[in-house]
Structure 1
Amino acid sequence: MTMPGEYRRASEDFDSYLDDVRADALIDSRNVVYTMTQGVFQTFRCRLDVADALRFADVLPPVLRAIFVSDWNPHDAKRSFDDRAAMTREAQSLRGDHNFAPDTAIRDVAMAVRKHVEVAAFDRVLKTLPDGAEEFWRP
């Protein structure tokens, strides 16, 4: 069997994702975009049980999938979805002294992620997740 194309192109696809977030959010630094993405993913992930989180991760491209599951303690308490402002503050709190994510972080990441997934599959998975999941990923 040949190696899946998504793995052969993983670095290029991730670079394209970073460029999309940078353009949408008017952020110059790839490091800021990485931390912002990680914060948004962790904020979303802690609101899902393990099975739901893994199904969500399956529709992400390889590098984003890896970021989504990295540094995860699946035994942490599950949180409820909150209003977007509160969840944005939560995403911004990751490495707080070095996190320069804007107040539009969730929207900016959502817009870029949607450009790099199969949207129909992404939306199908979101419909199976707890209330609040679809709204979280609505740009």
Structure 2
Amino acid sequence: MPLPFEYQNASLQFDQFMVDARDFAGLPTTNMAWNMVVGVFHTFRRRLSVKQALAFADALPLVLRALFVENWDIDQPIAEFGSREEMLEDVRSVRRQHNFATDNAIEAVAAALRKNVDLVTFERVLATLPPSAQAYWAVGKKASSVR
């Protein structure tokens, strides 16, 4: 079997995702988008069971999958989904001094993610998660509330 495309082009896929996240957030550089992306992924991960998080990770491209699970303390209690403002504060808590997360950080990363994943697989996995988890990745009007 030949080397799968997903593995051959993992870096290119990640670079494109980071450019999209940067652009959707209105940030000038992908370096500024980095902690925002980490914060959005880890904020979501903290609100899932291990089983749910691993199912979600399987729907992500390789490098994003690795980023999603990096430094994960699986013994940490599962957090509740809160208001968008509460979760944005959680996003901004990642490396606070170097975090440039915009007010639309969650929506920006969601839009970039939706542009860079297999949407059928992504939506199938989201459908197995609670409504609050589905709302986290909504873009536009559906994203206004995650409770």
Tell me which interval the TM-score lies in, with the shorter structure as reference length: over 0.9
1:106 maps to a residue whose letter is I
**What secondary structure sits across from 1:128 in the alignment?**
coil
Partner of 1:63: 63
Q: Give identity over the alignment, percent.
A: 45
> 1:1-139 maps to which residues of 2 (within 5 A)?
1-139=1-139
Please report the TM-score for the alignment, with normalisation by the length of structure 2: 0.91
Which ranges of 4 or more aligned residues in structure 1 deviate by more than 4 Å? none
- Contact preservation (8 Å) 1:48, 1:130: no
Q: Distance in 2 between matches of 1:24 and 1:107?
A: 8
Q: Distance in 1 between matches of 2:58 and 2:83?
A: 26
Q: Distance in 1 between matches of 2:60 and 2:32?
A: 20
1:129 Cα deviation after fit? 1.1
2:2 maps to a residue whose letter is T
1:84 Cα deviation after fit? 1.1
Unaligned 5+ segments in structure 2 are 140-147
1:101 Cα deviation after fit? 0.7
1:130 Cα deviation after fit? 2.3
- Contact preservation (8 Å) 2:52, 2:129: yes
2:12 maps to a residue whose letter is E
Deviation per CA, 1:97-130: give whole Å up to 9, x if none.
1101111100000000000111111111111112
- Contact preservation (8 Å) 2:21, 2:37: no
Q: Distance in 2 between matches of 1:75 and 1:87?
A: 20
Q: Distance in 2 between matches of 1:63 and 1:74?
A: 20
Over aligned residues, Cα RMSD in angstroms?
Answer: 0.9
